Every structure is written in structure tokens, then in C-alpha cells.
């Protein structure tokens, strides 16, 4: 089946239209590439409608990108006045592979064949430094993050008329604006990885309705959203070895934190005893400590609802499940 081209008009519900497909900016998640915007579980929950889709206005970085995208194209036109550059409003949909993309724009250049794709990015200078071999040389050799390469390669997979692509990057800092472009070449190996990753996502998770494993590094808000209450019943995790390991690690880490907190309090007390009634203290290496009086206003803590994780003793287990026999 040929790739569909749907014009994005003001009344086009783009968020609803993209739910049944993996978009170009989402392939990093299903391919498990470094720097993906969301976890596999978060993507699954969004595609299944279990959490609201992330809207541009919900993320300051997305708002920044949307507002400054015309500036990226203006900078591209300034850098390459001989190019013909235009922003795009098209949704490319491959229903067979269940992949979709919305290119930011297109370009034609006298020294390049056919039509090229333009992907616009707005990046803080501090973040762009991580692309560079030498963080102090903003014009030096740089490596485009894999998630951005995958996004552009996905667009090239769907836009068959495009023979080349460029990543146009507006670099923001407190003192000015920089601009760089990076050519993104077709990558058959990455394209195969993308195709396989998308197929695996639908076959393993989406179609059979199987929730992927949570990523504890980023999925705390998702877990709170999906599981806000407790039903009073018990789940059997006795065959889940990782649950036992995680419990042991959690208890061990908690004890280490308590010991560190106690040590930290003792060190603060020791230093306050040395400073006495003085406001400042000068150290041998030139550093200065301050110990000022802080006045805190009274305040009322607003009511909230949350779930608390604890490990139960035999006594609490018997109280919560009186008909359950516990061995000694």
C-alpha cells in the first residue's frame, strides 16, 4: 500500500490521527535508542488511551520548538540563500508498517538532486555541547544524537520523493543564537531497525494488550496516574525474583540513606558549634561558611492522596489478612 499524504489543516485532529501509528519522533522509544523522549510503557499507555496524549502546551520544550520553528527556517534561508525552503503541513502514513511522520519542511538546492527533507531543532547551548567532540568548539566536529537520526531516517522511509535530508539546529544561549546544519543520509540498517522495532511493539504489546515493563528511572508519574488507588487485595509476587531483589535493595538503600542523613546532621552540628554566634566563618582554603537566622512563616499543608510503600511484619500481615496463616 502506498504512503498516504494527508494535509494538516486547522480542523485536522492530528493527535487522534497519530495514535494508531508510531510517529517518527517515537521510533527512538520502540527501538530503545538512547535519549528517547518517553518510556515504552508510557508510549503504550498513550497509544491505548489510558493516559492523555502529551500536548505541545504541556511541555515547555515543545512550546519553545513550535514557537521558534519559523526562526529555524529563517536561519536556514539566510545560511543557504540559493536554496528554496518551505515549511510543511503534511501527515505521512504507512498503514502497512504502521509508521507515520510529519516532516517540518522541504528544500531544493541547486547542487543537490531532487527534494530534501528539513527537520528543525531548537537546542540549548548546554545541551548542544554534548554533541561536540570539543565542548568549547561550537563549530567543531559533532555527532547528531541517535534519536534525531532515527526521526529523520523514518521520514525518509515514508517520503519516497526525498533524496537527501538536513537537520537544521538553532542553538540558544544567554548571549546569542547559533545555527548549524547536519546532513542525514539514508541508512538502510537503521531503517530495518526501525521497521523491526515498530513491528515488535505492535506484536508484543499493543495488539495483545500487554503492558511493557515500567522503567523505574522515568515512570513514577505514569505509575501514579495509572494506579492511584489500592483495591485492598493481594498480588502474588512469589515467583518474581526481581521483586524480592528490589525489596532487599530498597531496604538496604533506605538504611544507607538514614546513616548518611545522621552523619550529615552531626557534621552540621559540629560546624555550628565552631561558628557559635558568628554569622560567617573563613576556612583555611579560602572558602567561607555562613550561618544566618532563617524565619519561616506558618503555613497549612494542603490535603493530598498518595500511596505509601512499606514492608509488613508478621503482625501487620495477620491484622490485614486475618484468615491467612503465617509460618514462624
* 313 C-beta neighbours (distance < 10 Å), count: 10
Same domain, 194 and 70: yes
Of the candidates 13, 35, 9, the residue with the CA atom closest to the CA atom of residue 151: 35
- Residue 230: inside a domain: no
Same domain, 66 and 196: yes
Q: What is the mean pLDDT of residues 59-65?
A: 78
Q: How far apart are CA 227 and CA 215, in angstroms?
A: 15
Q: Which three cell numbers stand for residue 287?
A: 572558602
How much is the pTM?
A: 0.85
Same domain, 148 and 278: no
In the block, residue with C-alpha cell 572558602: 287
For residue 37, give Cα distances in angstroms to 40, 115, 117, 147, 313. 10, 29, 22, 9, 40
Same domain, 148 and 280: no
- Residue 322: inside a domain: no
The three-point CA angle 303-255-243 to 5° equals 80
Same domain, 35 and 161: yes
Q: How far apart are CA 25 and CA 195, in angstroms?
A: 14
Same domain, 40 and 185: yes
Same domain, 41 and 182: yes
Answer for the pair 248, 255: CB distance below 8 angstroms, yes or no: no
**Residue of 323 and 234 predicted with greater confidence:** 234
- Residue 235: inside a domain: no
- Residue 166: phi and psi, rounded to 5, are -135, 140
Answer for the pair 104, 159: CB distance below 8 angstroms, yes or no: no
Answer for the pair 147, 187: CB distance below 8 angstroms, yes or no: no
Q: What is the dihedral of CA 115, 116, 119, 124, to 10 degrees?
A: -140
Q: What is the pLDDT of residues 191-237, one digit of tens each?
A: 999 999 999 999 999 999 999 999 999 999 999 999 999 888 999 99
Of the candidates 29, 39, 66, the residue with the CA atom closest to the CA atom of residue 200: 29
- Residue 12: phi and psi, rounded to 5, are -80, 125
- Residue 39: inside a domain: yes
Same domain, 37 and 163: yes
Average pLDDT, the chain: 91
- Residue 232: inside a domain: no
Q: Lowest mean pLDDT: which of 75-89, 209-223, 288-302? A: 288-302
Q: What is the mean pLDDT of residues 49-66?
A: 77
Same domain, 161 and 278: no
Residue 317's pLDDT is 59
- Residue 103: inside a domain: yes
Q: What is the pLDDT of residues 143-179, one digit of tens each?
A: 999 999 999 999 999 998 899 999 999 999 888 899 9
Residue 55's pLDDT is 62
3-class state of residue 101 by DSSP? strand
- Residue 311: inside a domain: no
Domain residue limits at 275? 257-293
Same domain, 268 and 141: no
Q: Is the dihedral of CA 9, 6, 63, 50 positive or negative?
A: positive
Q: How confident is the model at residue 323 (pLDDT cuts 50, 70, 90)?
A: low
Residue 61's pLDDT is 76
Q: Is the dihedral of CA 166, 131, 191, 216 positive or negative?
A: negative
Q: What is the pLDDT of residues 254-291, one digit of tens each?
A: 999 999 999 999 999 999 999 999 999 999 999 999 99
- Residue 100: inside a domain: yes
Residue 32's pLDDT is 94
Number of domains within the chain: 2
Answer for the pair 108, 116: CB distance below 8 angstroms, yes or no: yes
Amino acid at each position: 500500500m502506498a504512503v498516504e499524504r494527508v494535509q494538516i489543516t486547522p480542523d485536522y485532529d492530528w493527535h487522534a490521527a497519530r495514535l494508531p501509528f508510531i510517529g517518527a519522533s517515537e521510533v527512538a522509544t520502540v527501538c530503545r535508542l538512547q535519549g528517547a523522549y518517553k518510556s515504552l510503557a508510557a508510549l503504550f499507555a498513550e497509544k491505548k488511551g489510558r493516559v492523555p496524549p502529551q500536548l505541545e502546551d504541556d511541555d515547555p520544550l515543545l512550546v519553545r520548538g513550535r514557537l521558534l520553528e519559523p526562526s529555524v527556517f529563517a536561519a536556514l534561508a539566510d545560511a543557504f540563500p540559493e536554496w528554496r525552503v518551505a515549511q510543511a503541513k503534511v501527515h505521512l502514513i504507512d498503514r502497512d508498517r504502521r509508521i507515520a511522520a510529519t516532516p517540518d519542511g522541504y528544500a531544493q538546492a541547486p547542487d543537490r538532486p531532487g527534494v530534501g527533507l528539513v527537520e528543525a531543532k531548537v537546542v540549548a547551548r548546554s545541551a548542544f555541547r554534548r554533541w561536540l567532540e570539543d565542548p568549547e568548539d561550537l563549530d567543531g566536529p559533532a555527532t547528531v544524537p541517535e534519536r534525531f537520526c532515527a526521526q529523520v531516517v523514518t521520514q525518509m522511509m515514508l517520503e519516497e520523493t526525498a533524496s537527501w535530508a538536513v537537520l537544521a539546529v538553532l542553538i540558544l544561549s544567554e548571549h546569542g543564537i547559533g545555527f548549524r546544519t547536519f546532513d542525514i543520509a539514508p541508512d538502510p540498517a537503521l531503517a530495518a531497525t526501525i521497521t523491526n522495532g515498530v513491528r515488535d511493539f505492535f506484536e508484543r504489546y499493543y495488539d495483545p494488550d500487554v503492558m511493557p515493563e515500567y522503567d523505574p528511572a522515568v515512570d513514577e508519574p505514569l505509575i501514579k496516574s495509572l494506579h492511584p488507588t489500592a483495591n485492598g487485595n493481594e498480588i502474588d509476587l512469589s515467583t518474581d525474583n526481581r521483586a524480592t531483589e528490589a525489596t532487599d535493595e530498597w531496604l538496604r538503600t533506605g538504611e544507607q540513606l538514614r546513616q548518611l542523613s545522621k552523619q550529615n546532621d552531626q557534621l552540621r552540628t559540629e560546624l555550628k558549634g565552631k561558628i557559635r554566634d558568628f554569622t560567617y566563618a573563613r576556612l583555611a582554603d579560602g572558602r567561607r561558611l555562613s550561618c544566618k537566622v532563617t524565619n519561616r512563616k506558618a503555613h497549612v499543608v494542603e490535603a493530598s492522596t498518595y500511596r505509601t510503600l512499606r514492608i509488613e511484619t508478621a503482625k501487620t500481615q495477620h491484622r490485614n489478612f486475618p484468615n491467612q496463616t503465617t509460618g514462624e
